[in-house]
Structure 1
Amino acid sequence: MVSDTIFAMSSGAGRAGIAVVRTSGPRAGEALGAMLGGKGLPQPRRALLTAVVDPRDGITIDRCLVLWFPAPSSFTGEDVFELHLHGGRAVLDAALAALAAFPGLRPAEPGEFTRRAFDNGLLDLTAVEGLADLITAETEAQRRQALRQLEGGLSAKVQAWQTRLVKLLAEIEAWIDFPDEDLPENLVAGHAREVEKLALEIEGALASGLSARRLREGVMIAIIGPPNAGKSSIINRLAKRDAAIVSEIAGTTRDVVEVHLSLSGFPVTVADTAGLREAEAGELDPIEREGIRRSRDRASSADFLLGVFDLRDFPELDRETLGLLSEKSLVLLNKADLVSEPDASLLQWQSGIAPETICISAVSGAGFNALEAALEKRLRAELSDALAAPGFSRLRHEQCLRDCVVALRRFDPRAEVELQAEELRIALRTLGRLLGRVDVEDLLDVIFRDFCIGK
């Protein structure tokens, strides 16, 4: 049982118009009453503009908004109040010092407010992770996915599976406890069908989880091509800033340069790679050779590729780059500004290698609207499962679901009923771990320590 009361700044660090200080615990009401000068607590969940004072000397700290959330109707399930102070450092320091001096209050540990919400049953572990993802979301698609998870999208799926497992287990337990009772003859066959159906559903959720993980972590796009094709210029125009060094000297990019972008609201990591080229043994220096090796590695691990060529070289294009392209690639014929009248037939030049070819100019920006539209189309296709419904976006989710499927696949209707029951118990425990209600103390410490102070 929590006996102490915690406080922390819950808004961002640094000077701002407003700074929010949150306090939670059994002495929160007493502390707030003292900071209001003994005038009594405000109405619950109604903002009050008033002066707050330092209880030690009665000196006014600030005139601010005060919000009071008595238990259990608060974020943590405890008595909570918030001070919406002016964001000056001196104001914030004075408020925190006053709270620290109040008996029974202490600064919060990272993630401690959310941990108390979890401990009090207001959030399960998937919702906690959704909150963490919402705090760190950088794109619109990530925001939507995190919000669906925070609002219980994953919890509802897991709880529905749990309900079905509990029903199956209860019937088998009844069979064990009351063997002399008349039970339906088709009971065992019905159990086997339901277990198989559950296993298939969870396997389907596992398959769609890859899309959810890509949405959470970002889709990896590698830009590959020969030296001086304009790869760095393309990444700079996509990023709308000078993210990579551009030079007329071939081989300027020697290592992989990653840039994190939001393209049409989707999280993307674009990797600018060293130029690929064929060379005789000993012609490349060790640094360029290592850069080319890393380029190939990144191309093999990327979700899809942008193959960049100099339009003036068409159709004699770099074979090293062509050899890495696939149906998931886009071919970009760059430097269209240097060609007086690009042949429209070039756009269908190599349908066997790439479904789409775009003539562009990284200098003038010609063709970039078509490029961004093509990228958005591919991102929507790549992330379609995650966009349609909440997905299991973490490796922890995947492991729990895999363990559950393994237990369900071990269920044998021909085995002793005690063994059937045990497999269902194991499956239930794995789903319990997913929601954070069974054997998760070590796991909880890892998850909650990653939260910022005040959340």
Structure 2
Amino acid sequence: MEKQQKYTIIAKATPSGQGSIGVIRISGDKAIDVIKYILKLKYLKPRYASYLPFFYKNKIIDKGIALWFPKPNSFTGEDILELQCHGNSILLDLLINDILNISGIRIASPGEFSKRAFLNKKFDLTQAEAISDIISANSKSAIFSAMNLMNGKFSFLLKKLTKIIINLRVQLESFLEFDYKIKFSIFFKEILKKIEKLLIFLTSIIKYVEDGIRIKEGIKIILIGPPNSGKSSLMNLITNKNISIVTNIPGTTRDILHENIYINSVPIEIIDTAGIRDTSNQIEILGIKKTFEKIKSSNYLFLVIEDQMSKKNLNKIIKKYLKNFIKNIPIIIIRNKIDITNNIPEIIYDNNNKYTVIKISIKKKKGISILMDFIKKKIININTNEDQFTARERYLNSLKSIYKYLIIGKNNFLNTNSIEFLSEDFKLIQKELDSITGKFYSEDLLNNIFSQFCVGK
């Protein structure tokens, strides 16, 4: 990487195509040579917008704004020159190709400006990823959550976690060196107590990250239930589109149907699935299998049944089909067709079974406002808050690995009383934690992350 950074890099910082403004970004030691070559000046006033002619082979090709950011006070930590000219792709390409005639300058790789900023310690790896999240954000909440990640809300939690772990490591190492100063039984209880507190704190961070992934990817609500219970009709009603085919024939829906909608600026993916029932139809069986695969990646499960169904039969469905998902995914039971049972639209919180029951009639459009209000207040609101930050699966995987190391370390400590083994576990925890922020990283990890950025970022 050090060899690569000897090169000065150049790229368009604006999308290809015609526009009012086109921006060219140059970062590295040769940026000063571009000032001399393109602007015919020896130097520019730092952090000052200068309106100047741009030269192409000694002829003025355009006039625009030049911005000069000498190192280390720049985005990448290197010398940066930005040229803002008219947004004609031919004009931009002519200028870039002419600048490439200067020895030591090459086209930037995707995300290389951000990668250099990270390597020059302008921000940690999570904050670098926030840049990509802001660019790709598909809702207002996602934009603000990405800014929270960039502003270091997650980094703050990780620093706090790191501080606790380092203090524990110091305490363990100190006891190994000076064990005569404190009784082991007292030390043993103190360490276990701190590990328990650490597990609680870590659990809260994992919850934050899981919520952050939901914001980045959108909330997924899956509709399941027996055939003809009203899943497809509910899908059409919520999305206000005729997406699902509605008939009285069991097994009409055999494939997974998706539709993305926005409620209160939050992206929600509604997923309609094949009716769950015992069947010998091979195509229908395949659709039901896909349903259960899809449940695993969903955030909320709407079990749509007919209001006539008894609690006994409802419990049979849950035990037969959903017992593996109950602990991980909230189940909301939608009792449809209250126009047949003459029941009123209502919402019932079943605290004993931890289910929410909503009674509606899709046909008569009764109780729909109750359902939509539930989605807004109990699903959207609890998944969005001002302190939330966007997150990635790699954060979650590392934090879960740390949790696993802690549990294993705690159990081994209880069984063996070995401080040496526990100390080794904490070294692994520290290494895993450092991989999130990029304090410890592999070149493959960096390439994988920054290759997903656009070229000029």
Identify the TM-score tier after normalising by the shorter chain.
0.7 to 0.9
Instruction: Report how far residue 25 of structure 1 moved.
Output: 0.8
Q: What is the match of residue 299 of structure 2?
A: 303
Identical residues among aligned pairs (%): 26
Pair 1:291 & 2:316 matched: no
Q: What is the match of residue 92 of structure 1?
A: 92
Question: When the two structures are superposed, what TM-score results if normalisation uses the length of structure 1?
Answer: 0.79
Q: Tell me the C-alpha RMSD between the 2 structures.
A: 4.0
1:368-447 → structure 2 map (5 Å cutoff): 369-380=369-380, 383=383, 388-390=387-389, 393-400=392-399, 402-403=401-402, 406-407=405-406, 409=410, 412=413, 415=417, 418-419=420-421, 421-447=423-449
1:212-251 → structure 2 map (5 Å cutoff): 212-224=212-224, 231-232=231-232, 234-236=234-236, 238-239=238-239, 244=243, 246=245, 250=249
Structure-1 separation of matches of 2:357 and 2:246 = 30
Instruction: Report how far residue 113 of structure 1 moved.
Output: 0.9
Instruction: Report how far residue 158 of structure 1 moved.
Output: 1.7
Q: What is the match of residue 109 of structure 1?
A: 109
Structure-1 separation of matches of 2:49 and 2:6 = 27
SS across alignment from 2:115: helix
* 1:370–1:195 Cα change, 3 Å: closer
Q: What is the match of residue 138 of structure 2?
A: 138
Structure-1 separation of matches of 2:399 and 2:443 = 16
Provide Cα deviations, 1:359-414, integer angstroms capped at 9, x if missing partner: 4469xx88655443221123236526x76544764244432453365155368498
SS across alignment from 2:6: coil
Instruction: Report how far residue 442 of structure 1 moved.
Output: 2.7
* 1:75–1:411 Cα change, 3 Å: farther
Q: What is the match of residue 453 of structure 1?
A: 455
Q: What is the match of residue 71 of structure 2?
A: 71
Provide Cα deviations, 1:23-47, integer angstroms capped at 9, x if missing partner: 1111112213322122631x32222
SS across alignment from 1:345: coil
* 1:221–1:192 Cα change, 3 Å: closer
1:272-287 → structure 2 map (5 Å cutoff): 272-275=272-275, 286-287=282-283
Structure-2 separation of matches of 1:387 and 1:116 = 30
1:441 counterpart letter in structure 2: E
Instruction: Report how far residue 185 of structure 1 moved.
Output: 6.2
Instruction: Report how far residue 333 of structure 1 moved.
Output: 4.2
SS across alignment from 1:101: coil
Q: What is the match of residue 52 of structure 2?
A: 50
Structure-1 separation of matches of 2:183 and 2:11 = 62
Pair 1:21 & 2:24 matched: yes
SS across alignment from 2:357: coil
Structure-2 separation of matches of 1:433 and 1:402 = 12
Instruction: Report how far residue 121 of structure 1 moved.
Output: 0.7
Gaps of 5+ in 2: none
SS across alignment from 2:100: helix
* 1:293–1:77 Cα change, 3 Å: same
Answer yes or no: is the 8 Å Cα contact 2:142–2:390 preserved in 1. no
Q: What is the match of residue 187 of structure 2?
A: 188
* 1:237–1:32 Cα change, 3 Å: farther
Answer yes or no: is the 8 Å Cα contact 2:405–2:425 preserved in 1. no
SS across alignment from 1:12: coil
Structure-2 separation of matches of 1:366 and 1:9 = 54
Q: What is the match of residue 164 of structure 1?
A: 164
Question: When the two structures are superposed, what TM-score results if normalisation uses the length of structure 2?
Answer: 0.78
* 1:7–1:301 Cα change, 3 Å: closer
Structure-2 separation of matches of 1:258 and 1:138 = 17
Q: What is the match of residue 119 of structure 2?
A: 119
Number of aligned residue pairs = 434
* 1:297–1:78 Cα change, 3 Å: closer
Structure-2 separation of matches of 1:320 and 1:421 = 50
Pair 1:268 & 2:268 matched: yes
Structure-1 separation of matches of 2:437 and 2:239 = 38
Pair 1:257 & 2:257 matched: yes
Instruction: Report how far residue 271 of structure 1 moved.
Output: 0.9
1:34 aligns with one of 33, 37, 54: 37
Q: What is the match of residue 83 of structure 1?
A: 83
* 1:441–1:229 Cα change, 3 Å: same
Answer yes or no: is the 8 Å Cα contact 2:53–2:60 preserved in 1. no
Structure-2 separation of matches of 1:233 and 1:91 = 54
SS across alignment from 2:360: strand
Instruction: Report how far residue 76 of structure 1 moved.
Output: 0.7
Instruction: Report how far residue 49 of structure 1 moved.
Output: 2.9
Structure-1 separation of matches of 2:93 and 2:240 = 39
